[in-house]
Amino acid sequence: MRTWLPVLLFATVLPAQAAKLDLKVLYAGVADHPRTEQWRAFLAAHVAHVALTDVKAIADGSGTDADVVILDCPDPIVRKADGNPERIAVPSPKGLTAAFDRPTIVIAGMTLHTDHLQLKSNWL
Amino acid sequence: MCLYEEAHGVDASHPIFQGPFPVTPTWHDMPTPAHYKNLDPSLGPTLRAWRVHRDKLPERSYVGVVADGFGFLDSPDAEWIASGRNSKNARAAALARHGNFFHWGFAAAPPELTDEAQRVFLNTLAYMKRFAGQRPLAIGETRSREWLPAMIAGDQPLADYVKNQLPPSWLAAAGDDRQALRALAAAELGFLHREGTRWQVDADCKRLGLDNRTPTALRRCVELQANGGDDAKAAQAVLERYTGERFTTAAEWQRWLADAGDRLFHSDVVGRFRVAPKDLVPPHRAKTD
């Protein structure tokens, strides 16, 4: 019983109340965008260490200090004055290839890049 | 851009639902989008769904992205975890992993994620740490043959883009008769081989009765090659075509197969067998009843 108690306690608390995950996370997004601050605040509350960088700067060899890298961007749809879509503008980390070996979470619009890398996680 | 607020087809047995923050998904019934039935008429009126966004997405807001779910599981470097309400089909992947890349297709920023989705995201961070250095193995742009039965599943007239995907021998034999095409797909899907931009029936595989997606087919070819006779030449050709190797004796093939063991896999993305590295982290697969 004594062995299980810490596990049960950990399992029943909300993330915000739980110990932080012992992870170093590199969030690569768009600087000064409100979405980046939202992700930073969320991650800082739940993981041991968070660093930020420009997603366009991510390249093979980046994030060697991170346990996990997150690739993210704001809504990439560029709209015309009438609100209709004009084009898609996803930031491009040109130096990131399929040889990139860090654990990576690719969020929403950044899938355009894994599509270019011909991964199964493509842009259908 | 085509993924909305909720996931469906969720594999809640996947580690990202298990911890470190266990999540028991709150399910609801989602009306099955009508267009899903174009590729899968067997779908019922509702799908069991799990809400990822707190609120309904306003018009012209950031929507998410789905990946092609057909064939996603044909290589051991990939995991399909969930689809989500989208404009493509019920198999499209909203949560999935390929090598060291995890596809989180939902567009919500953290304040827009439900509490359960926030937990799953944090669990995903913890889960992915183990995939350092686990690069994707099946890389390419070829779509899986699993698309073919889906494309002829409904009752709509065959569009030109569908005809351009089907093997010419199927069209020659069945024309636009979907029932006949479905029978051919059921009988011959395992014999298909990608040549250029379309699928063809591999005459050697068909004649020898070899499903070219299974390691068993390769082992049968080695037996045929060792036996000599009329089938030996075809068996050698099949072995070379689907492995990329050029061994000439049955002993060499047997040695290669033995070394590959259960690390051998076929992916339509690469069009042949490959051998997974020995340090591959085994993929999670949903338990089936």
Q: What is the pLDDT of residues A21-64, one digit of tens each?
A: 999 999 999 999 999 999 999 999 999 999 999 999 999 999 99
Say if B72 falls within a structural domain.
yes
Compare CB distances from A103 to B119, B131, B136 and report the shortest one's residue.
B131
The answer to whether the peptide bond before residue B76 is cis (omega within 30 degrees of 0) is no
Say if B286 falls within a structural domain.
no
Q: Which domain holds residue B224?
A: 147-275
| Chain A interface, best mutation among B104, B123, B268, by max A CB count within 10 A | B104
Which DSSP helix (H) or strand (E) runs through B274?
strand B272-275
Compare CB distances from B105 to A41, A101, A111 and report the shortest one's residue.
A111
Instruction: Give the integer Cα–Cα distance in Å for B57 and B64.
Output: 11
Token output for A55: 């997603």
Q: Verify that B201 and B117 share a domain, yes or no.
A: no
Report CB contact under 8 Å: A98, B138: no
Q: Verify that B122 and B166 share a domain, yes or no.
A: no
What percentage of chain A carries pLDDT values higher than 90? 83
First-to-last alpha carbon distance for chain A, in angstroms, is 49
DSSP symbol at A107: E
Say if B195 falls within a structural domain.
yes
Report CB contact under 8 Å: B62, A111: no
Q: Verify that B157 and B94 share a domain, yes or no.
A: no
Say if B176 falls within a structural domain.
yes
Say if CB B225 and CB B235 are below 8 A apart: yes
Burial (CB count <10 Å: 0-12, 13-18, 19+), residue B226: middle
What is the pLDDT, as a whole number, of residue B158? Answer: 93
Q: Verify that B159 and B81 share a domain, yes or no.
A: no
Mean pLDDT of A99-112: 97
> A40: helix, coil or strand?
helix
What is the pLDDT, as a whole number, of residue B59? Answer: 86
Say if B281 falls within a structural domain.
no
Q: Verify that B107 and B152 share a domain, yes or no.
A: no
Give how far B117 is from chain A: nearest CA, Å: 11
pLDDT per position in chain B (289 positions), as tens?
Answer: 699 999 999 999 999 999 999 999 999 999 999 999 999 999 999 999 999 999 999 888 999 999 999 999 999 999 999 999 999 999 999 999 999 999 999 999 999 999 999 999 999 999 999 999 999 999 998 999 999 999 999 888 899 999 999 999 999 999 999 999 999 999 999 999 999 889 999 999 999 999 999 999 999 999 999 998 889 999 999 999 999 999 999 999 999 999 999 999 999 999 999 999 999 999 999 986 5
Q: Verify that B205 and B259 share a domain, yes or no.
A: yes
Say if B288 falls within a structural domain.
no
What is the pLDDT, as a whole number, of residue B197? Answer: 86
* Structural domains in chain B (count): 2
Q: Verify that B153 and B113 share a domain, yes or no.
A: no
Instruction: Give the integer Cα–Cα distance in Å for B47 and B24.
Output: 17
Hey, which bits of B56-214 come out as E strands? 78-86, 95-98, 101-104, 192-195, 198-201
Report CB contact under 8 Å: B21, A18: yes
For the entire predicted model, the pTM comes to 0.94
Q: Verify that B108 and B157 share a domain, yes or no.
A: no
* Cα distances (angstroms) measured from residue B217 to each of B167, B187, B220, B273, B277: 21, 16, 5, 11, 21
Residues of B in contact with A120 (CB under 8 A): 67-68, 71-72, 75, 78, 93, 96, 98, 136, 138, 269
Report CB contact under 8 Å: B98, A18: no
DSSP symbol at B93: B
Residues of B in contact with A118 (CB under 8 A): 139-141
Q: Verify that B154 and B258 share a domain, yes or no.
A: yes
Say if CB B67 and CB B93 are below 8 A apart: yes
Q: Verify that B100 and B9 share a domain, yes or no.
A: yes
Give how far A31 is from chain B: nearest CA, Å: 15
Compare CB distances from B101 to A77, A121, A123 and report the shortest one's residue.
A121
What is the pLDDT, as a whole number, of residue B1? Answer: 65
Residue type, A49: H
Token output for B180: 């006949």
Structure ipTM: 0.96
What is the pLDDT, as a whole number, of residue A3? Answer: 39
Of B99, B82, B102, nearest in space to B91 by CA: B82
Instruction: Give the integer Cα–Cα distance in Å for A61 and A73.
Output: 21
Compare CB distances from B102 to A18, A105, A117 and report the shortest one's residue.
A105
